[in-house]
Amino acid sequence: MFVIIFADFVELIAAYSCGFPSFPPVLSSRVVGGEDATPHSWPWQVSLQSDRGGGWRHVCGGTLISTEWVLTAAHCINENYNYRVELGKHSLKASEDGSIARRAAKIISHQDYSILLSRNDIALIKLSPPIILTDTIKPACLPELGFVLPHGSQCFVTGWGRLSTNGPLADTLQQALLPVIGHEICSQQEWWSVLATDKMVCAGGDGTSSGCNGDSGGPLIYQNPDGSWNVHGVVSFGSGQGCNVFQKPTVFTQVSSYISWINTTMFNDFLVFGHKLNICITFSFLLRCWDYTFI
């Protein structure tokens, strides 16, 4: 019995390996300053929703990294509210075949998260029950521990955030090209200075494309030479002056700096609950005064 189940499980992993969309994204140089994504071309993108105000509403993005874990930003979480995650969505306004909602059974924010300086702005959400991978619901890959994207790396940010400063939230998933700004530049005084640490990734800052309110927690994605996609950043903060400010790139928590924390957090939960099949999936995918605001 175990051999049969395990064989089926291995076939499932092969069919739905991380980072390969069944519907490849159409990539262009044009979130704010972005464009509608091809439906289901970013199948790891999730909508984190809270019950604040009586009904479920989108508050942040997130990234599916296994059959039961989602990566998001710690500043998205308020312990006074309940949360759920919607997966397999393109439009948040329409009913879509294959989309599902899962309860946030457990939310674990980084123990050293600092809201004042936005340090360690990362959290994990455990889904209940675990999801079944499909063509429209797949995990992104995680980068190697300590890997740093070079300056100029062509990345994409995705989300249902505001289409412009103080504008409406997007109904359909948006994508925008955001080149990486190296830490040696982003940490300069006229950029983000000491607010930008070496555990963050800066991207954008050209005054044209950026993340915006509602994109928080979502992914900064980079395509590997083999065609797979890694999640290198978690949307953390941007300029308080607006969503498209020159020399104020969107700032992301750098995922590669937290691989040990991610693995330890998931593995400790595994030791408590003993989900052997799910853990196999998890580990195989494996300012002067600055004006800024969480987005």
Catalytic residue IDs? 75, 121, 216
Q: Is 100:36 a contact under the CB 8 Å cutoff?
A: no
User: Quick one: which of 140, 165, 139, 126 has its CA closest to 48?
Assistant: 126
Around 45, how many Cα atoms within 13 Å sit in the side-chain half-sphere?
Answer: 32
**Percentages (nearest 5) of helix, strand, coil residues in the chain:** 20, 30, 50
Torsion sign, CA atoms 190, 195, 199, 201: negative
Q: Which residues contact 80 (CB under 8 A, 6 or more apart)?
A: none
Q: Is 191:205 a contact under the CB 8 Å cutoff?
A: yes
Eight-state DSSP code of residue 255 = G
Torsion sign, CA atoms 160, 161, 167, 168: positive
Give DSSP secondary structure letters for 181-197. Answer: E-HHHHTSTTTTGGGS-
How many residues belong to the chain? 295
Using CB atoms within 10 A of its CB, is residue 40 exposed (0-12), middle (13-18) or buried (19+)?
buried
DSSP SS3 for 43: coil
User: Quick one: which of 166, 233, 177, 167 has its CA closest to 204?
Assistant: 177
